Amino acid sequence: MPKKHVIEFVETHSPITEPSTKFGGQPHWVAEAQWPLSEETGNPMRFICQIALTQVPGIVTPARMAYLFMTDEEEDEHVDGTWEPDGGENAIVLQPGDHDLPTEELAEGPTLYRMAEKTGEDLLQQEACEFGVSLKSAKDVVYMSEKQRWKLPEEEKKAATGVLGESKIGGTPVFLQGDEIPFDDGWQFLLQIDSGSVPFYVNFGDSGVGYAFMNADGTEAKFLWQCA
């Protein structure tokens, strides 16, 4: 069975400035900064995480790091299409690597936050946050299409469906809705983020799950999310 690494989030109160896997804070670029811009607004997307690709079991890629970004809602406007892998409102930057994404060489930009109580405020306020990770290795499900799973006996079907409610690196995607692979052949699975079980805010819709993939030779990566 394929190996996965289940993510346990470890909060840090000082910036992580190493080329390691982390969520939030500011990216640690291994080359020049390449901050993706929203196709609709032209503003910098929100930085979600960076994944040290040497930590992903079985991944084939010349890149050392993958950086995930997604457009966040502005106070005065709603940006649609953040779930689409080619919608221009999310992006994975691979370094080293070549990209045709619209980017800026920004030293700092929007990052992850959580909602927290603030003295003198009646409503919860945004608070920037940053997390390192502890990775727990475990066996994962074998990928099957919906048609293949439908033919299995009930007990085997349950095992093949896998586990929702966890965030992981590597292994096999467990789709909340139907199978959705953004590459036709030889795709590689990189990351799964369950928005209902993370210690920060990400807008993947209603109890949504995000998925990151790479192409066969590891030169391109795409992200999408599904919700209930």
What confidence tens digit (pLDDT) does each residue in 151-195 have?
Answer: 767 666 555 556 778 999 998 899 998 889 999 989 999 999 999
Question: Which domains occur in the chain, in start order?
Answer: 3-226 (2.30.320.10)
Burial 190-213 (b: 16+ CB within 10 A, else e): bbbbbbeebebebbbeeebbbbbb
pTM for this model (two decimals): 0.90
Residue 37's closest CA among 72, 66, 65, 75?
Answer: 72
Residue 17's closest CA among 116, 96, 107?
Answer: 107
The pLDDT value recorded for residue 159 is: 56
Q: Mind listing the pLDDT tens digit for each residue in 66-87?
A: 999 999 876 556 788 899 999 9
C-alpha–C-alpha distance, residues 204 and 58, integer Å: 27
What average pLDDT does this structure show over 11-18? 91
Please list, in sequence order, all residues whose beta carbon lies within 8 angstroms of the beta carbon of residue 2, skipping any fewer than 6 positions away: 57, 58, 139, 140, 141, 142, 143, 170, 171, 172
Q: How confident is the model at residue 111 (pLDDT cuts 50, 70, 90)?
A: very high
Question: Taking a C-beta distance cutoff of 8 angstroms, is the pair 227, 176 a contact?
Answer: yes
Q: Is 39 helix (H, G, I), strand (E, B) or coil?
A: coil
Q: Are strands 125-128 and 130-139 parallel, antiparallel or unpaired?
A: unpaired
The pLDDT value recorded for residue 75 is: 55
